[in-house]
Amino acid sequence: MAEIHAPMSVPLEPQVLDAELVSQTLAGRAEAFGTLVERYDRAVYHLCFRTLHDVEEAKDAAQEAFFKAYRGLGTFRPSAKFSTWIFSIAYHACCDRIARRKRYSDGPLPDRADPTLGPEAIAEHNDEARALRAAIDGLPEKYRTVITLYHLQGHQYEEIARVLDVPLGTVKTHLFRAKELLRRELAGLREQPVSGEVTEE
Amino acid sequence: MNPHDELDRALFALPLETPPPGLREGILRATIYAQPAAQPALLSLWETVGLGVVLAVASWLALALSTNKVLAWQIGHVFGAFGQALADPGTLAWLAAGAFIALSLSVFNLGLPGPAVRAERS
């Protein structure tokens, strides 16, 4: 099987370990937390955006996640992974926002794309990548979140299970089903270029 | 071969979303550059003004009493007369009666419904 790595912007083995940066922050060196923000702000925003589908809400949720992490840094266990911890906080912040949306709105959930496309998005003329994004967006929420975390954390299923607070078996099942749905959707797109909604069997 | 190998490769080649401008600055402003919350003032504005006035009058009085003997005698006379009036049994009896009536009015509501009862009815 081919070796798979997490996306380049998510550091796997940074020079200064995250736990060390947390200790330095707790010791009063606030700039160490700035390094953690630099490392994970994009990944956290990615998770929030993929979960919420709204630029402003995703931005707010990402900020909220880091704010909560900063205030609760004393409760962070050194044996845990900072990425898992911050993703977990961000994921729960997103869940709260989704619950609030459902409570206060009877209409369909907003799906506002980023009006200011970044360099990657502009350069993304690759049909495959665009089709994959669209297929992920069409997944049911539970599968979309698992796929997004798999994208961010690679094959660390235990970490994904910790973020979502679900059993490891559930993660594996959801991931397998999500991949099957994606594979079928992409195979269908190759045969017929008109995209359709992904449906769960 | 794993049927999802190709999908995995495509997934991991997918770039992360580009964060909106100002995200990092916003996070840093809310965390490491955040100003500590202002301590609540010990006294309100009116309390400060009142305390200032009392202190100013007390200072003036102390200064005036130490320099002006006549004024000191007059103030002493006023306070003495006031003390004598308070020591009078008749004055004390009237004061006790007033306090008792005020207390009675505050305890007995003369049968009028309270605010909670009124709120329930409306």
Chain A residues with CB under 8 Å of B13 CB are 129
B76 to chain A, any CB pair closer than 8 A? The answer is no
pLDDT at A106: 59
- In this structure, the number of other CB atoms found within 10 A of the CB of residue A59 comes to 22
Which B-chain residues 32-71 have CB contacts (< 8 A) with chain A?
A: 32
pLDDT at site B30: 92
Res A147: pLDDT: 92
What global pTM score does this model have? 0.62
Do A7 and B14 lie within an 8 Å CB cutoff?
Answer: yes
Q: Is A187 on the interface with B (CB under 8 A)?
A: no
For position A125, what pLDDT does the model report?
47
Burial of A169 (0-12, 13-18, 19+ CB in 10 A): exposed
Nearest Cα of chain B lies from the Cα of A71 at a distance, in angstroms, of: 8
Chain B contact present for A173, CB below 8 A: no
CB-based burial of residue B56 (10 Å sphere; 0-12 exposed, 13-18 middle, 19+ buried)? exposed
Q: Report, as ranges of residue numbers, the positions in chain B whose pLDDT lies below 70.
A: 1, 36-40, 109-122
What does each of the 201 residues of chain A score in pLDDT, given as a tens digit? 444 444 544 555 556 789 999 999 999 898 999 999 999 999 999 999 999 989 999 999 999 999 999 999 999 988 889 999 999 999 999 999 999 888 776 555 544 444 444 545 545 546 778 888 888 988 998 899 999 999 887 778 999 999 999 999 999 999 999 999 998 888 887 676 544 444 444
Choosing among A46, A53, A157, which should be mutated to test the B contact, i.e. which has the most B CBs within 10 A? A46
Hey, is the C-beta of B120 within 8 angstroms of any chain A C-beta? Answer: no
Tokens of A171: 């993660």
- For residue B71, give both structure tokens: 């004024």
What pLDDT was estimated at residue A8? 44
Q: Contact B8/A128, CB-based, under 8 Å? A: no
Q: At what angle do helices B69-87 and B45-67 cross, to 10 degrees?
A: 110
Q: Do A121 and B12 touch (CB under 8 A)?
A: no
Residue type, position B64, single letter: A
